[in-house]
Amino acid sequence: MQTVSNSIIVEKVKHSKIDKVDFNNLSFGKYFTDHMMVCDFKNGAWEVPRIVPYQPISLDPSAKIFHYGQSVFEGMKAYKDKDQNVWLFRPLENQKRINISSKRLAMPEFPEDYFMDGLKALLKLDQKWIPTAEGSSLYIRPFVFASGCGFHASPSDEYKFIIACSPSASYFAGKVKVLIEEKYSRSANGGVGFAKAGGNYAGQFYPTQLAVEKGYNQVIWTDDNNHEYIEEAGAMNIFVRINDTLITSPTSDRILDGITRKSIIDIAKDENIAVEVRKITVKEVVEASENGSLKEMFGAGTAAVISPIATFGYQGRDYDLPEIKNSYASTLKKRITDIQYNKAEDKFGWRYQVEV
Q: Is residue 352 part of a domain?
A: no
Q: Are residues 160 and 195 in the same domain?
A: no
| Residue 90 C-beta-side C-alpha neighbours within 13 Å | 20
Same domain, 154 and 243: no
Which residues fall within 8 angstroms of residue 67, CB to CB, at 6 or more apart? 151, 153
**What residue spans of the chain are helical by DSSP H?**
65-68, 91-104, 112-125, 198-213, 259-270, 282-291, 328-340
Domain check: are 138 and 238 in the same one?
no
pLDDT of the residue at 27: 85
Residue 52's CATH number: 3.30.470.10
CATH number at residue 233: 3.20.10.10
Residue 68 lies in a domain: yes
Predicted confidence at residue 7, as pLDDT, reads 80
Looking at the fold, whether 186 and 319 belong to one and the same domain comes out as yes
Q: Output the pLDDT for position 28.
A: 86
Considering the domain boundaries, does residue 353 fall inside one? Answer: no
The answer to the question of residue 351 being in a domain is no
- 231 and 318: one domain? yes
- Do 253 and 142 fall within a single domain? no
Same domain, 91 and 133: yes
pLDDT score recorded for residue 231 = 95
Kindly write down the DSSP assignment for every residue of 218-286, as one continuous string. Answer: EEEEE-TTTS-EEEEETTEEEEEEETTEEEEPPP-SSS---HHHHHHHHHHHHTT-EEEES-EEHHHHH
Report if residue 71 sits inside a domain.
Answer: yes
Task: Answer with the one of 168, 194, 227 that is the final residue of a domain.
Answer: 168
Strand 236-242 to 245-248 pairing: antiparallel
Distance (Å, whole) CA 3 – CA 15: 17
Among 157, 86, 151, 172, residue whose Cα is nearest residue 121: 86
Of 168, 187, 203, which one is at a domain's C-terminal end? 168
pLDDT tens for the chain, residues 1 to 356: 344 445 899 999 999 999 999 998 888 888 999 999 999 999 999 999 999 999 999 999 999 999 999 999 999 999 999 999 999 999 999 999 999 999 999 999 999 999 999 999 999 999 999 999 988 999 999 999 999 999 999 999 999 999 999 999 887 667 799 999 999 999 999 999 999 999 999 999 999 999 999 999 999 999 999 999 999 999 899 999 999 999 999 999 999 999 999 999 999 999 999 999 999 999 999 999 999 999 999 999 998 899 999 999 999 999 999 999 999 999 999 999 999 999 999 999 999 999 98
Q: What pLDDT score does 181 carry? A: 97
Statement to judge: residues 28 and 153 lie in one domain: yes
Task: Tell me which of 132, 151, 168 is where a domain ends.
Answer: 168
Q: Is the residue at 239 inside a domain?
A: yes
pLDDT of residue 217: 95
163 shares its domain with 182: no
Residue 356 lies in a domain: no
Claim to verify: residue 103 and residue 232 sit in the same structural domain: no
Are 285 and 308 contained in the same domain? yes
Examine residue 354 and state whether it is found in any structural domain, yes or no: no
If asked whether residues 129 and 158 sit together in one domain, one would say yes
Domain that holds residue 187: 176-340
Q: How many domains does the chain have?
A: 2
How far is the C-alpha of 33 from the C-alpha of 156, rounded, in Å?
Answer: 29
Kindly report the pTM of this predicted structure: 0.95
